[in-house]
Amino acid sequence: MERRVFLGLAAAGLLAGCGGFRESRINPRNWFGRSRSRRREAATAEPGTNPLIPEKEESGLFDSLRKRGKDVPYAGTPVAEISALVVERATGGAIVRVRGLAAQQDIYDVRLIPGSPDAEPVDGILGYELRAVHPPLSTATELRPREVQAAVFVSDKTLESVREIRVRGLRNERLSRR
């Protein structure tokens, strides 16, 4: 009995002493400490300019890649087969999600290309084509590595005049009607 009381008191004392660990430098949660606020020198800008708009157009980290991409047209070709088309409701519209099966593996840059130039429905049909860029040297393999997916958001305004969504591939097309 005395042994249990002694061990209980020792454990209580030990746990009470651990409260200081929370504030110590040994605790990894304290390594960066609490944040502090400090005054910052005001940046001076010329009157009539917006400091949030960069002065040079090519000032971002990836702007050189983005500019290079504008010069090159999209080189995608239609995916061999469309295996699934799902239209999911979302806030402000719907997400058209498409799964396809390519003729070969190692394809990349999969996109849903609108059937009309301005992505507007024609005669109540909103059309897309599932395209992907194929590498020059690739082999046909099992199904799993050839499966691709793409999605696009369609606003409620566009969906008002749509009664059918059609996605085309090389060998087939899938439809979703209201």
Q: What is the mean pLDDT of residues 26-45?
A: 55
Question: Which pLDDT band, with edges at 50, 70 and 90, does 31 fall under?
Answer: very low
- Per residue in 51-89, pLDDT (tens digit) is 677 666 655 666 665 555 555 677 888 898 888 898 888
Determine the 3-state secondary structure of 89 from DSSP: strand
> Shortest CA distance to 128 belongs to which of 117, 139, 142, 138?
117
Residue type, 38: R
Of 123 and 17, which is predicted with more confidence?
A: 123
Strands 164-168 and 173-177: antiparallel
Cβ atoms < 10 Å from Cβ of 161: 13
Tokens encoding 173? 């097309």
Hunting for tokens 């691709």 — which residue is that?
148
